[in-house]
Amino acid sequence: MTGSTELVISDTRSPVGRPRINGEQTPARFADGTLARIDAVLTDKEKRSDFIREAVERELARREGK
């Protein structure tokens, strides 16, 4: 048998999974000890990146007057 066989699972083009929340990235530098302080206040199974993202969003809302 010659030729290729294409397996089509679905013909929909919609993305699968949760919506993307981290579309933009930037490196950030913190003063010595800052990451240890963040880690010390994280709740069980909370991620450092989530903590930082939420803190930035709160500060932006405060400064934007929302």
Q: Closest Cα to residue 28, out of 64, 62, 59, 52?
A: 52
Cα angle 61-63-53, degrees, rounded to a multiple of 5: 45
The residue ranges of every structural domain in the chain are: 34-64
pTM of the shown model: 0.64
What integer pLDDT is reported at residue 1 of this predicted model? Answer: 59
Q: Are 61 and 53 in contact (CB under 8 A)?
A: no
The pLDDT tens digits along the chain (66 residues) read 566 677 767 666 666 777 776 688 889 999 999 999 999 999 999 999 999 999 999 999 999 997
63: nearest Cα among 21, 1, 55, 11: 55
Query: Which pLDDT score is estimated for 46?
Result: 96
Token duo for residue 53: 């993202």
